[in-house]
Structure 1
């Protein structure tokens, strides 16, 4: 942007300089032509004179020649010294144009936004120093003030305030964003409500407040599957002694995660909330806290074995009966390993939220893939059983005996 403005300034300078130079050249050429015309007329008049001797004519002709040469030298000196006198003015004009361009560039705020973008890109690669973080926060504040309709700059400014620990000011920023966002921008409003609640929570020294909890519930009404919002809502509900709500919030998070130390700690919090609820005279079924797993015995028919190679891949998987087509759990074998017993569980989840424990009815499939790809193709051999409860305790028997058309 800056170089484009400078280039335009140079082009402007050229347009201003060329006419001045051209005018100066035209004046010099015109004066030379006039001197030549006068010299020619006087030479003709001298030649036509009859009352002078040849010596007198020669002397006068010599004088005319000297005057003409003197006028030609003067014109040449004027042509050579004219540009030198005009160059300082042209250079001064160039300085004024470029300085004005830079001043407007700074006024428009592009310089600040470029530096802000540079710091943001750097922060995505390495950790900024404290000085750079402070500079970024200040520049984001300037960008937000310069363009108050640009919610992206304001949002980033609020995030930087949160990171720097200025939670009260961050809460004010997110509250302003919420006013600007249209009602139909559900995801943006949900995210802003969560950030606003988080900022107010930390600004209040992490003390639970019904108004803050209400912000989180409003966010979840817009986007129910946000794990961060559900987790924070469960924590506030627990502090407000609404233990049933705390369990429901944390259950959503627990079911969306694979088995891990994080989910084990979450399960402890869920059990603690259930115990508090029991102290209040209410019971809650926590049977869903037991991770779902299916035991599958896989074998292959004689016909199918004769049609495949021992090195061909065997996929054993469970897929939700009603839900996304992506498998919830997958085990990979070879034909040479059959018959075999495998366990399908949350440990084989392929994506967050796609857990076996999260879908009550599943389809269990065993497939010999000639291409090595999990998607069924013509010529593959398979068998499937559906529907199967994700809490099925008996061994599931699968005999690969059907060829895919």
Structure 2
């Protein structure tokens, strides 16, 4: 802010210069006028002396005229180069008063109508915050400076949610809706904030918000995830699986939340099985590939791995790019396990199981959490991507 106020001061000096320079010039002009008036008075006095000497007979008529001519030349020489007299001029007090009032009035108007707080915030956002608390403080001041900024309100609400302040987030999302309109994404965020603010108690208001959001956009991810959470908490496990399967199909292949979502689907399916039911399979689009894989460890490896070690189960093209076409992440503690690999698990949209006629199944234990490198691995023989029969895959070899 210091350089800003220095620039303001420099501009004020320039403005004062335009006001004070005419005053200084006016003083010089006044001095010139005073000198000219004195010369004229001396000329008139000289003419009067010459006339008196003529009357006394001291001077002849020719000498009188010569004296008058000489006095005229002297007056002309003394006044040569002088500025023309001003018809009218402002008095000195008015420019001086303006010189004082202009900067005072300008400062007052700027403080009232200006945006010094926004200038300061812009400077702050140019540097990364030292902590989450500092970022929150910046966002709060940005919202105070621009209360009609939907973007600022949205980010503040998300920040409150990340800090486990759902009640504050709900209040901010309500304001965001008033500014930006009832957009599906905002409705989902508000429903989520109100759900956690009410200690995970589902209510007609939350139901109405998610209904409105999904009606406007059936792919609204926050509402789908929230419906799945609410169904799982209410022990409606098949309903939770359905919502989470819909959400899983929408997430990018590299989205970090996919693993947690798949874990939630698996837990819900286990609860259905434990209660004597059978989880309904997710609908598969026409022409899409779906591989069912039963994964386990050999008995000799169970003592060499840790329950928290990551297990990646994936399919890759037998002839084609080496990267996985579809992948699921588990842990050793989940084994034995049954997983499904489909086009919805594709790492990249253009690399789907159904795009390759023959694939190989791979299961890898990786303590570092890397799907491409680990300690132990199991591989299947090449098989058609259209295979519908369940496949058994055993992790039994060192990963060299």
TM-score of Structure 1 vs Structure 2, range by shorter chain = 0.5 to 0.7
State the Cα RMSD in Å. Answer: 4.7
Change in 2 beyond 3 A, CA 1:393/1:143: same
Alignment of 1:90-239 (within 5 A): 90=96, 93-94=98-99, 96-108=101-113, 110-122=115-127, 125-128=128-131, 130=133, 132-133=134-135, 135-145=137-147, 148=148, 150-163=149-162, 165-182=164-181, 189-209=183-203, 211-225=205-219, 227=221, 229-239=223-233
Distance 2:181 2:189 in 1: 17
Change in 2 beyond 3 A, CA 1:209/1:391: farther
Distance 2:357 2:223 in 1: 33
Change in 2 beyond 3 A, CA 1:163/1:21: farther
Are the aligned partners of 2:314 and 2:327 in contact in 1 as well (CA < 8 Å)? Answer: no
Distance 2:98 2:351 in 1: 74
Deviation at 1:247, TM superposition (A): 0.9
- Is 1:284 aligned to 2:280, yes or no? yes
Deviation at 1:39, TM superposition (A): 0.8
Deviation at 1:235, TM superposition (A): 1.5
- Is 1:273 aligned to 2:268, yes or no? yes
Deviation at 1:174, TM superposition (A): 1.1
SS of equivalent residue, structure 1 residue 245? helix
Distance 2:228 2:385 in 1: 26
Are the aligned partners of 2:237 and 2:272 in contact in 1 as well (CA < 8 Å)? Answer: yes
Alignment of 1:14-163 (within 5 A): 14-48=17-51, 49-50=53-54, 51=56, 90=96, 93-94=98-99, 96-108=101-113, 110-122=115-127, 125-128=128-131, 130=133, 132-133=134-135, 135-145=137-147, 148=148, 150-163=149-162
Q: Using structure 1 for the length normalisation, give the TM-score.
A: 0.55
SS of equivalent residue, structure 1 residue 241? coil
Deviations 1:267-307 (A, max 9, x none): 3321222244453755412676756625425xxxxxxxxxx
Q: Which residue of 2 aligns with 1:13?
A: 16
Change in 2 beyond 3 A, CA 1:197/1:111: same
The one of 231, 239, 253 equivalent to 1:245 is 239
Distance 2:153 2:213 in 1: 20
Distance 2:271 2:201 in 1: 19
**Which ranges in structure 2 are unaligned for 5 or more consecutive residues?**
60-77, 79-91, 283-289, 294-312, 329-343, 359-382, 390-400
Distance 1:160 1:364 in 2: 46
Distance 1:265 1:103 in 2: 56
Are the aligned partners of 2:254 and 2:347 in contact in 1 as well (CA < 8 Å)? Answer: no
Distance 2:202 2:269 in 1: 19
Deviations 1:191-228 (A, max 9, x none): 31232123212322344445435534543444555655
Change in 2 beyond 3 A, CA 1:40/1:261: closer
Q: Which residue of 1 aligns with 2:298?
A: none
Are the aligned partners of 1:143 and 1:153 in contact in 2 as well (CA < 8 Å)? Answer: no
Equivalent pairs, count: 291
Deviations 1:53-101 (A, max 9, x none): 89xxxxxxxxxxxxxxxxx9xxxxxxxxxxxxx79984x7545433332
Are the aligned partners of 1:167 and 1:199 in contact in 2 as well (CA < 8 Å)? Answer: yes
Are the aligned partners of 2:166 and 2:197 in contact in 1 as well (CA < 8 Å)? Answer: yes
Distance 2:204 2:105 in 1: 55
- Report which of the two has the higher share of helix: 1
Change in 2 beyond 3 A, CA 1:283/1:139: closer
SS of equivalent residue, structure 1 residue 267? helix
